[in-house]
Amino acid sequence: MASSLSCIKADYDVDGDVILQLLRGYAQDPMGGNEDLPEFVQANLINELRKRPDLAVTFLCYVDGVPVGLANCIIG
């Protein structure tokens, strides 16, 4: 049976917890530095992204309904 892959544009009001879950997982991995995100980042990141709809967008990818990846895109 083939896996189902889907990618969506995140809604910060709906998907904030999933975004933080994936970012924390990366941060805690050796590739991300083996440390959790600071509490300040966890408490404020989604709110700050929400304030900048013209500068930031996040895409989430799911396999069989399970979140597996994201891309945070920010205009610099």
pLDDT of residue 73: 96
Confirm whether pTM is higher than 0.85: yes
pLDDT of residue 1: 78
Confidence check: pLDDT of 76 > 90: no
pLDDT of residue 13: 96
Return mean pLDDT, the chain: 96
- Give CA–CA dist 38/28, Å, rounded: 11
pLDDT of residue 35: 97
